[in-house]
Amino acid sequence: MNKEAPLSIAERDFILNALREDVRLDGREADQFRPLNVSFGEEYGHVKIQLGKTSLIVRISSEVTKPHDDRPFDGIFTIALELTAMGSPAWENGRQGDLESYVSNVLDRVIRHSNALDTESLCVLKGVSCWSIRADVHITDYDGNLIDAACIGIMAGLQHFRRPDAVVKDGQVIVYGVDERVPVALNITHKPLSITFHTFDEGKRVILDATRKEEQASEADVLIGLNNAGDVCYISKFSGFPVDAMVFVNKSSVALEKVKEINNIIDKALQADLTKRAKTALVEESRAANDR
Amino acid sequence: MVSPLILLPGDEIPSEYLPSTNSAPLRLGAGLRLLSQPSSNPSTPPSHVISATQSALLSTDTKRNAVSLLSTPNRRYIPTPGDLVIAQIHHSSPDYFHCMVTPQAPQAMLGQLSFEGATKKTRPMLKQGDLVYARVLSIGLGAGAEVELTCVNPATGRAEPGGLGPLTGGMVFDVSTGLAARLIKASSSSAEQQDGVAGLVVLDELGKKLEKAGGFEIAVGRNGKVWVDCANGGDSAIKATVAIGRCLSTIDEHELSPTDQRKLVTRILREMKIES
């Protein structure tokens, strides 16, 4: 039974009729995100995202490997997303569904292919060793809009992550432990985020950040990926009902506004976490001095 | 009134907590099970104990001579005979409608003729995605057993209590099974306790406030579904329905006192711009 339960006719009709009156089930406006909470764990690159009832955990990790033969100057960056039964009873462990490949594909396009993480900066020694950065996305609860939430999580994680320092000495790569040298932040070129819209009523109603029920009742989805500067790095409309071209134009400006808003939230959370870390580090330092 | 009793799975219920009237048979609610305990002496008959199957607060109803557990807001629903549920038709076969009581669980069977006044010619034609308000008739025994639903009381042939049968229009909201149980309890014991049963006054309050807007119909399923319809609401029908859904989901997420619940209702109705 690896299937999302279909909506009943009553729910489908009601969601559509309500949207015709500009009413959403949780009382939001059409262009309003659910409350977003970004928090960080103890380690660098451990992010928890809570978007309404959708919640997920992103872990960024790094290791030194050999670069790909055809790209000796580039490091490696992979995004691993798996939908397990932990996130929703409709998902089965170890079996890839349509949603999983779709979400992975979009995340790859928005974040990896737009070069948000500068992979050239991950090179340690040409053709011999480089950093491999891996982002693992674990969904812990699912109530729609997985793509946006995962995007926010990965971008926040990349900005939060610190990799160990590595130097080359006489052709030897030396990796210093986190306690030996101050770890290095990753080189982020820009901060793209995806914004998902869902259309209803033959493309006349367009809403942002749909819940699971709204997603199921919708006719089509429109995805726009862009960064703070308004550079659109991804746009898609895969299937479903046709959407007027003007929707893309109009909603791009809405999306830009939202991306700025969300990046602000991420920045604030990062800042708060950094000051907290600085404080605890100071305390530790003074304690160490006392011990001596 | 004895002090509230908190039970853990496997705990026995002390006899002083059971309703003392012996004339009517004792009714066991969800989460309680009657177990027979073989006595050490083979000549005496085995004694019976009532034990809890989940951790919860014990609640007794002396009027109906019933005991049940007030379960915590968990999500999983396990069918128990006699429960009222809202099921969704998945497909139909010559004799049965196959219904979803909980998604991702084996389907339950609802007889084509188990509706009030249904004969071969007058039975309701339900299609995929339609909703029915039904009662769990039996849950079968052992693995792979089928849950059977019914929309009539098999003894009388009536839809008892009123309202069993297909649900048309309206909207279904998902709540926790715990809240669903509390809602059912609050509606069954009318106003004998002040401030509602288990501190739940939201439906009374909504009923008072929405009277002018045409009132509403509600059906609560133990499987964590609440069906709401404001058929007489006119223009504000959809808004009122959404408002009820929002009130219920907020109460489900936060533990609210009766005063806070009243405040919540007023606030949400104002937000949704419904006159009260």
Query: pLDDT tens-digit profile of A241-287?
Result: 888 888 888 899 999 999 999 999 999 999 999 999 988 888 877 77
| Chain B residues touching A27 at Cβ < 8 A | 242, 246, 268, 271-272
Pairing mode of beta strands A166-169, A172-175:
antiparallel
Element (H, E) at B208: helix B202-209
- Domain A9-291 in CATH: superfamily? GHMP Kinase, N-terminal domain (3.30.230.70)
Minimum-distance CB partner of A17 among B100, B238, B271: B238
Residue of A nearest to B86 (CA): A8
CA distance A210 to chain B (A): 16
Q: Say if the Cβ atoms of A21 and B169 lie within 8 Å.
A: no
**Residue B135: strand pairing partners:** B84, B150
Element (H, E) at A84: none
B120 pLDDT band, cuts 50/70/90, is confident
Q: Say if the Cβ atoms of A27 and B268 lie within 8 Å.
A: yes
CA distance A102 to chain B (A): 22
B158 pLDDT band, cuts 50/70/90, is confident
| Chain A residues touching B99 at Cβ < 8 A | none
| Res B192: pLDDT | 47
Instruction: Please state the three-class secondary structure of A189-202 as a single string.
Output: CCCCEEEEEEEECC
Q: Say if the Cβ atoms of B245 and A9 lie within 8 Å.
A: no
Pick the CATH number of B171-271 from 3.40.630.30, 3.30.70.2740, 3.30.1370.10, 3.40.50.300: 3.30.1370.10
B1 pLDDT band, cuts 50/70/90, is very low
Low-confidence ranges of chain A (pLDDT < 70): 1-2, 288-292
Q: Say if the Cβ atoms of A90 and B227 lie within 8 Å.
A: no
**Residue A198: strand pairing partners:** A207, A221
Q: Phi, psi at residue B221, to the nearest 5°?
A: -100, 140
Please list the alpha-helical segments (H only) found in B133-176.
Answer: none
| Res B2: pLDDT | 54
Cβ pairs bridging A and B (under 8 Å): 61
Q: Which residues contact residue B245 at a Cβ distance below 8 angstroms, ignoring those fewer than 6 apart?
A: A25, B171, B173, B226, B228
Q: Say if the Cβ atoms of B129 and A12 lie within 8 Å.
A: yes
Q: Say if the Cβ atoms of A25 and B167 lie within 8 Å.
A: no
B7 pLDDT band, cuts 50/70/90, is confident
B219 pLDDT band, cuts 50/70/90, is very high
Find, among A2, A10, A1, the residue nearest to A213 by Cα: A10
Q: Say if the Cβ atoms of B171 and A14 lie within 8 Å.
A: yes
Q: Say if the Cβ atoms of B103 and A23 lie within 8 Å.
A: no
Find, among A42, A283, A284, the residue nearest to A160 by Cα: A42
Q: Say if the Cβ atoms of B103 and A5 lie within 8 Å.
A: yes
Pick the CATH number of B84-167 from 3.40.190.10, 2.40.50.140, 3.40.50.620, 3.40.10.10: 2.40.50.140
Which among B99, B171, B236 is the top mutation candidate for probing chain A, defined by the most A β-carbons within 10 Å of its own β-carbon? B171
Q: Say if the Cβ atoms of A23 and B238 lie within 8 Å.
A: yes
Highest mean pLDDT among A94-98, A254-258, B142-146, B256-260: A254-258
Q: Is the pLDDT of residue B163 over 90?
A: no
User: What is the model's pTM?
Assistant: 0.85
Looking at chain B, the whole-number percentage of residues with pLDDT higher than 90 is 17
**∠ CA B104-B106-B109, rounded to 5°:** 130
Q: Say if the Cβ atoms of A5 and B100 lie within 8 Å.
A: yes
Reported in sequence order, the residue ranges of B20-162 that DSSP labels E, i.e. its strands, are 27-28, 32-37, 47-52, 56-61, 66-71, 84-92, 96-100, 108-111, 131-138, 148-150
Q: Which CATH architecture has domain B6-71?
A: Beta Barrel (2.40)
B256 compared with A102, residue with greater pLDDT: A102
Contacts within 8 Å (CB) and 24+ apart, B119-123: none
Average confidence (pLDDT) over B45-63: 77
Q: Say if the Cβ atoms of B246 and A27 lie within 8 Å.
A: yes
Domain boundaries along the sequence of chain B: 6-71, 84-167, 171-271
Highest mean pLDDT among B16-25, B44-53, B207-216: B207-216
B198 pLDDT band, cuts 50/70/90, is low
Residue of A nearest to B245 (CA): A25
Q: Which residues of B21-35 are buried (b: 16+ CB within 10 A; e: fewer)?
A: eeeeebebbbbbeee
CA distance B144 to chain A (A): 15
CA distance A14 to chain B (A): 6
Which among B104, B132, B225, B248 is the top mutation candidate for probing chain A, defined by the most A β-carbons within 10 Å of its own β-carbon? B104
Average pLDDT, chain B: 81
Cβ–Cβ under 8 Å, residues A146 and A99: yes
| Res B39: pLDDT | 66
Chain A residues in contact with chain B using a Cβ-Cβ cutoff of 8 Å: 1, 3-14, 17-18, 21, 23-27, 89-90
Q: Is the pLDDT of residue B196 over 50?
A: no
**Residue B195 CB: number of other CB atoms within 10 A?**
14
Q: Which residues of A15-40 are buried (b: 16+ CB within 10 A; e: fewer)?
A: bbbbbeeebbbbebebeebbebebeb
Q: How far apart are CA A248 and CA A223, in angstroms?
A: 9
Q: Say if the Cβ atoms of A10 and B167 lie within 8 Å.
A: yes
Find, among A124, A129, A103, A118, the residue nearest to A159 by Cα: A118
Minimum-distance CB partner of A10 among B104, B169, B268: B169
B191 compared with A152, residue with greater pLDDT: A152
Comparing B84-167 with B171-271, is the CATH topology the same?
no
B72 pLDDT band, cuts 50/70/90, is low
| Chain B residues touching A17 at Cβ < 8 A | 238
| Res A214: pLDDT | 92
**∠ CA B158-B164-B170, rounded to 5°:** 150
